[in-house]
A and B are shown apart, each in its own frame.
Chain A
Amino acid sequence: MNTAAPFEPWTDETATPLIEFSNVTKRYGEFTAIDQVDLKIYPKEFFALLGPSGCGKTTLMRMLGGFETVTEGTITIDGVDMKGIPPNKRAVNMMFQSYALFPHLTVADNLAFGLKRSNMPKSEIDGRVEEMLRLVQLQKFAHRKPHQMSGGQRQRVALARALAKAPKLLLLDEPLGALDKKLRQETQFELMDIQEKTGTTFVIVTHDQEEAMTVASRIAVMDHGKLKQVDTPDRVYEVPNSVYVADFIGDVNIIEGQVTKVQGDTAELLWGEGKPSIRGMAGNNLSSQTSGAFAVRPEKVAIFTEEPADRHNRVTGMVEDIAYLGNMSTYYVRLENGALIKSQVANDRRIAHRSITWNDTVWLSWTDTAGIVLAS
């Protein structure tokens, strides 16, 4: 991250991936849970599988753990085909969503559980347990039972247990799902810290896009068993490759219309008879004279009380609602054609924008590179 060369093995043609999915399909009877997935994950990555529930992200991860079989295609870890290898023979460990801490064992015994079943000599186990306890700062709790601990503490025990065997790959199934928001944010940074310290490759499953954006080096956005986009967090946010991804990640305004012009990096979209077209960046595989959609983030939409004549992209409407969020305010502006556009403005001055209020007629505007025109 703050090393000289950025950590981007996926851009390096010569890098060898740790995990490789080739044409992987998983069916349950008629239902296709995973549909022809190809994916490479590199050593030391913090890779997030993101999607709504039922999109197949958990199935994909459980295949790495050996808890689900592959119907078609192959998965290799470190170059070895994983077909038929049971979970206990894989250098992969998992942190379960429910944590799955053994209720009849103490914290220390939970941490030692996997070590006792490895080749580690007895004399070294205690040391390793101690080391793991230190890693998650739970030295004082070694002799507690899981039910005597808070949710956050249990989460750390589960993490430490999964890391104790020093796996090549750690799978995390909604690891922070059970924690409240404040604790979750703190823990996200802790996770990143531990990942960096141990140098383990992490694959995390989550439905929380903010969490994925915070922790991951790359994100795979999934829907209906397919990978919609695999990219770095900033590219997934700034350059989504489909309306689905744009809509799933963060807040977005979508304006539907007809693509009129595609020229290099820019494209134009006609969204209403007799109105000037909207100009934005051109999305993938976009061609002229097809229906498309323009996506722009609310924070990139500026709001004016008078027409900003010098901007190409400008629309007018009436303020319907104002949501005051403290650090920022969101204005909901109804356009003449009925579309509702959100504009988010930082409240950097105390009385800023007090001049705009309900039912005011306002102008919204954005730069030519603020939004993206996508094929629909």
Chain B
Amino acid sequence: MNLGRRLLISVPYGWLVVLFLIPFLIVFKISLSDYAISIPPYTPTLDTSEGWSGFAAYWSKLDFENFVFLAEDSLYIKAYLSSFKIATIATFLTLLVGFPFAYAIANAPEEWRPSLLLLVILPFWTSFLIRVYALIGILSNEGFLNQFLMWTGVISEPLVIMNTNAAVYIGIVYTYLPFMVLPIYSTLEKLDGSLLEAAQDLGCTRISAFWSVTVHLAKPGVIAGCFLVFIPALGEFVIPSLLGGSRTLMIGKVLWEEFFSNRDWPVASAVAIILLLVLIIPIVLFQRNEQKQREQNK
């Protein structure tokens, strides 16, 4: 019994330590190393044959030089700020599309709701990459959006959307919409209809009842949805790389290029560490929101 329990704990625990925790520590360590033209492309490397003195020599060569570099080179600061801006705007746009969508599903006849939800989730199961690819055909200069708009006569020249930040916004809204719709839907669905009736009974019109009750009570779902979109959007790589232009700066893309094109592993690692530090704030806020919701449900 006790042995079984120990085994049960130690197998997944060990797996995660080896394949999640240690790699993470390695990233941290390499971010303190220096770039070198060698294999692996960084110094120092630990020479275990020299025992303690080797370790001490190794330790003394680690420094925060890369972080200083990141702080001094405006490219990185701009990339962080621009990621933040893009993720924020895209999250807001997703909310704008997602809230009425979730609201409409929650208000649909009960027997429709499972099917409608399935239709929202279905794209999420199909490949992320394919969905981004599908958008290229819509947004490009000869794409269907431009064809359609020119056909209706709204515009005479094709709009340049592809390879701009606008395309990135559309891409994020498109791919992350289910993450916004589902949590909002689940709070709206739980909403006791008699609360709205009570508000009307006490003198609200339908619209003011919506603002003072529905929107208020959907807040936890809205917050959860926003974080679920914002957090992955901040580190997004595929969307800016395929839809954005060369001037679209996002930190995920910078990291990728630093690693694969420049082969500067220490700087890439430092970029990763900072990205994580930036992410900790929204993640903690998200956790707190979830916790609060769980307590209120009790």
Contact = CB atoms under 8 A, between A and B. Distances in A.
* A/B touching: CB–CB < 8 A: yes
Given A97-B194, A98-B194, A147-B296, A87 B201 contact: yes
A96 B205 contact: no
Secondary structure dominating the interface of A? loop
Contact of A88 (B192, B194, B205, B217): B205
A102 B296 contact: no
Interface string A90-103: 00111011101011
Contacts of A147: 296
A91 to B, nearest CB: 11
A94 B197 CA distance: 9
B198 interface: yes
A113 B199 contact: yes
Contact of B213 (A65, A96, A98, A102): A102
Interface string A134-176: 0000000000000100000000000001100100000000000
Contact of A67 (B197, B206, B216): B197
Interface in A49-84: 65-67
Nearest to A171: B201
Contact of B197 (A96, A102, A113, A117): A96
Contacts of B201: 65, 87-88, 92-94, 114, 162
Given A86-B205, A117-B203, A165-B202, A100 B217 contact: no
B204 interface: yes
Nearest to B216: A104
A118 interface: yes
B203 A118 contact: yes
B200 A102 contact: no
Contacts of B195: 100, 102
A66 B206 CA distance: 13
Contacts of B198: 94, 96, 100, 102, 161
Nearest to A94: B201
Interface string B165-194: 000000000000000000000000000101
Contacts of B194: 96-98, 100
A98 B190 CA distance: 14
Contact of A87 (B197, B212, B213): B197
B200 A86 contact: yes
A94 B201 CA distance: 7
A165 B203 contact: yes
Contacts of B204: 88, 117
B203 A88 contact: yes
A88 B210 CA distance: 13
Q: Which of B198, B212, B213, B217: most chain A CB closer than 10 A?
A: B198
A65 B202 CA distance: 11
Nearest to B203: A117
Interface string B195-232: 10111111111101000110011010000000000000
Nearest to A112: B202
A96 B219 CA distance: 24
Q: Which of B194, B197, B201, B296: most chain A CB closer than 10 A?
A: B201
A100 B192 CA distance: 7
25 contacts: A86-B205, A88-B200, A88-B205, A92-B201, A93-B201, A94-B201, A96-B198, A97-B194, A98-B192, A100-B192, A100-B194, A100-B197, A102-B195, A102-B198, A102-B213, A103-B217, A104-B217, A104-B219, A113-B202, A113-B212, A114-B202, A117-B202, A117-B203, A118-B203, A161-B198
Given A87-B197, A100-B197, A102-B195, 15 more contacts: A65-B197, A67-B197, A88-B204, A93-B201, A96-B194, A96-B197, A96-B198, A98-B192, A100-B195, A102-B216, A103-B217, A104-B216, A114-B201, A117-B203, A162-B201
